[in-house]
């Protein structure tokens, strides 16, 4: 698998350099549109040229760059709005000045462009949208768009924005299936990705872009459907000695009827004035064992809803033959049996899928360790290294058993035309080769 290599710092180049590139790959009308957009982007960029990024961690690895952002929805907080601070996932080195004119070429070099069927001409035709999205993401994450480092540019223009463009296309395809005047239920997009790989940050960015482009969106996590503390205690008692079901996480530790009720209600949120509250889970309750947050803290969403972004570490997992899972870990047998009910509770609601692929599940341990270290450095409670190891060990058997099938066959019930598979490296950036 070829690794994705980021560009070296680019020097400012004359605008005619990109005009030449665009001319070679698009018609005259498209060239004029893209060039005008670049000029416009340059002017709005100048308004923020004095903004400096002050939200970077010193570790250089940063587990989550959401934790200082006042807009971030953190399920562990137990609050309906999921607010929390932000840490940067990027390195803290002197900013590299990249010219606005270089962005078109940079965008077209991204590993997802070809995968999504985007040509340079198509990118040029919509370049104004790409630049607008990039500008908004810079504001959201408090970065100066004229002083983005190469990793920051890659995160926005090679990852978040291409995925958003893909989601927009999926929404258009979904809407086209309905006749004029018919109520269109929201498209549920599932994000299946291991813990710590950045799916929550991705969903956060996408939700923001949907909102600024005038679409009502809702975000959900499979964490929101964990059993109550009492239900989890019963599960533990029913499976004595099974460490995979001792705490929340694996199949069997979710309230599936509650998830069906919630997702069904969301699908009916098609009219103006309709409202409902989204459940949230408080991971800090009962000394970290967790419990469903009080309904008074749940976030309210309004119709008409366009899209639901539903993320989770085990979305799309398919039950396997017993001998397969027992060879990985005998304790998985009951988990595998429980998994059989998850398609009707979760997967059948999802009509478009984004699967984030990792090369080695052991990355989860490192990412989680980074998260806890960052929390401790910020003066917040965090698990010790041993506690992190124990926590991740409860998920690794499921990763080893189910990820190969997920990557080779796609999620349970998915269609190839509505599936985007993205492989990321240890820095959580897309790489070439899928």
At residue 92 the predicted structure's pLDDT band, cuts being 50, 70 and 90, is very low
- The angle that helices 363-377 and 385-393 make with each other, rounded to 10 degrees, is 140
CA distances from 219 to 52, 84, 112, 201, 279 (A): 30, 16, 24, 12, 10
Residues 152 and 184 in one domain: no
Q: What is the pLDDT of residue 100?
A: 54
Question: Is residue 406 helix, strand or coil?
Answer: helix
- For 6, counting Cβ atoms within 10 Å of its Cβ (0-12 exposed, 13-18 middle, 19+ buried), the class is middle
Residues 280 and 319 in one domain: yes
At residue 37 the predicted structure's pLDDT band, cuts being 50, 70 and 90, is very low
Q: Domain for residue 284, yes or no?
A: yes
Region of poorest pLDDT, from 3-7, 325-329, 379-383: 3-7
- The answer to whether residues 71 and 140 touch, using CB atoms and an 8 Å cutoff, is yes
Q: How far is CA 397 from the centre of its chain?
A: 23
Residues 262 and 392 in one domain: yes
Q: What is the pLDDT of residue 393?
A: 92
d(CA 63, CA 78): 20
Q: Is the pLDDT of residue 32 over 70?
A: no
* Tally of CB atoms within 10 A around 92: 14
pLDDT tens digits for range 159-182: 999 999 999 999 999 999 999 989
Q: Is the pLDDT of residue 147 over 80?
A: yes
Task: Give the angle 241-244-248 at the CA atoms, nearest 5°.
Answer: 115
Domain termination residue (choose one: 157, 172, 193): 157
d(CA 12, CA 336): 55
pLDDT tens digits for range 325-362: 999 999 999 999 999 999 999 999 999 999 999 988 88
At residue 391 the predicted structure's pLDDT band, cuts being 50, 70 and 90, is confident
Q: What is the pLDDT of residue 101?
A: 62
Shortest CA distance to 225 belongs to which of 290, 276, 317, 303? Answer: 290
DSSP 89: S
Average pLDDT rounded to a whole number, residues 411-427: 92
d(CA 172, CA 175): 5
Residues 133 and 192 in one domain: no
Q: Domain for residue 309, yes or no?
A: yes
Q: Is 27 left (phi over 0), alpha (psi -120 to 50) or beta?
A: beta
Residues 147 and 206 in one domain: no
Residues 6+ apart with CB under 8 A from 300: 80, 275, 276, 277, 278
Residues 300 and 383 in one domain: yes
Average pLDDT rounded to a whole number, residues 395-424: 94
Average pLDDT rounded to a whole number, residues 78-98: 40
At residue 379 the predicted structure's pLDDT band, cuts being 50, 70 and 90, is confident
Query: Which residue would you say has higher pLDDT here, 371 or 381?
Result: 371
Q: Is 158 left (phi over 0), alpha (psi -120 to 50) or beta?
A: alpha
Residues 116 and 248 in one domain: no
- The answer to whether residues 222 and 194 touch, using CB atoms and an 8 Å cutoff, is no
At residue 289 the predicted structure's pLDDT band, cuts being 50, 70 and 90, is confident
Q: Domain for residue 281, yes or no?
A: yes
Q: Domain for residue 228, yes or no?
A: yes
Q: Domain for residue 102, yes or no?
A: yes
Question: In the structure encoding, which two tokens stand for residue 342, read together?
Answer: 């998850």
Residues 6+ apart with CB under 8 A from 325: 332, 333, 335, 336, 401
At residue 99 the predicted structure's pLDDT band, cuts being 50, 70 and 90, is low
Query: Which residue would you say has higher pLDDT here, 178 or 62?
Result: 178
Residues 137 and 188 in one domain: no
Q: Is the pLDDT of residue 270 over 80?
A: yes
At residue 225 the predicted structure's pLDDT band, cuts being 50, 70 and 90, is very high
Q: Domain for residue 119, yes or no?
A: yes
Per the structure, the complete domain to which residue 125 belongs is given by: 95-157
Residues 276 and 338 in one domain: yes
Q: Domain for residue 23, yes or no?
A: no
Q: Domain for residue 379, yes or no?
A: yes
Query: Which residue would you say has higher pLDDT here, 224 or 92?
Result: 224
Q: What is the pLDDT of residue 61?
A: 31
Question: Is residue 291 helix, strand or coil?
Answer: strand
CA distances from 419 to 29, 166, 191, 353, 422 (A): 32, 10, 10, 5, 10
Average pLDDT rounded to a whole number, residues 75-83: 37
Residues 149 and 218 in one domain: no
Residues 148 and 210 in one domain: no
The CATH number of the domain holding residue 334 is 3.40.50.300
Strand intervals (E) in 157-235: 187-192, 217-221
Count: domains in the chain: 2
Region of poorest pLDDT, from 56-65, 197-206, 253-262: 56-65
Residues 142 and 196 in one domain: no
């Amino acid at each position: 698998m070829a690794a994705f290599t980021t560009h070296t710092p680019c020097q400012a180049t004359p605008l005619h350099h990109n005009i030449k590139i665009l001319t070679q790959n698009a018609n005259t009308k498209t060239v004029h549109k893209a060039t005008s957009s670049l000029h416009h982007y340059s002017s709005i960029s100048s308004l923020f040229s004095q903004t400096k990024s002050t939200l970077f961690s010193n570790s250089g690895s940063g587990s989550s760059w959401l934790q200082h952002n006042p807009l971030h929805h953190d399920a562990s907080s137990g609050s309906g709005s999921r607010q929390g601070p932000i840490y940067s996932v990027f390195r803290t080195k002197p900013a590299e000045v990249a010219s606005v004119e270089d962005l078109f070429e940079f965008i077209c070099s991204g590993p997802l462009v070809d995968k999504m069927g985007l040509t340079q001409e198509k990118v040029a035709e919509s370049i104004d949208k790409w630049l607008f999205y990039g500008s908004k993401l810079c504001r959201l994450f408090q970065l100066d768009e004229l002083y983005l480092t190469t990793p920051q540019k890659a995160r926005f223009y090679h990852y978040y924005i291409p995925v958003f463009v893909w989601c927009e296309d999926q929404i258009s395809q979904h809407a086209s299936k309905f006749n004029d005047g018919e109520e269109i239920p929201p498209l549920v997009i599932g994000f299946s990705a291991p813990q710590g790989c950045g799916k929550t940050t991705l969903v956060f960015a996408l939700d923001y872009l949907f909102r600024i482009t005038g679409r009502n969106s809702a975000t959900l996590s499979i964490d929101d459907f964990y059993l109550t503390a009492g239900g989890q205690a019963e599960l533990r008692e029913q499976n004595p000695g099974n460490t995979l079901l001792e705490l929340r996480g694996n199949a069997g530790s979710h309230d599936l009827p509650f998830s069906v009720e919630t997702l069904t209600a969301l699908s009916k949120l098609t009219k103006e004035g309709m409202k409902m509250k989204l459940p949230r889970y408080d991971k800090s309750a009962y000394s970290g064992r967790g419990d469903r947050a009080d309904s008074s803290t749940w976030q309210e969403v309004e119709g008409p809803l366009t899209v639901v972004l539903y993320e989770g570490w085990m979305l799309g997992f398919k039950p396997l033959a017993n001998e397969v899972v027992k060879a990985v870990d005998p304790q998985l047998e009951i988990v595998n049996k429980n998994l059989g009910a998850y398609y009707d509770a979760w997967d059948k609601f999802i009509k478009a899928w984004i699967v984030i692929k990792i090369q080695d599940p052991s990355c989860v341990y490192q990412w989680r360790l980074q998260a806890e270290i960052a929390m401790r450095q910020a003066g917040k409670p965090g698990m010790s290294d041993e506690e992190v190891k124990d926590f991740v060990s409860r998920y690794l058997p499921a990763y080893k058993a189910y990820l190969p099938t997920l990557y080779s066959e796609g999620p349970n019930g998915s269609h190839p035309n509505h599936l985007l598979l993205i492989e990321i490296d240890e820095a959580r950036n897309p790489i070439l080769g899928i």
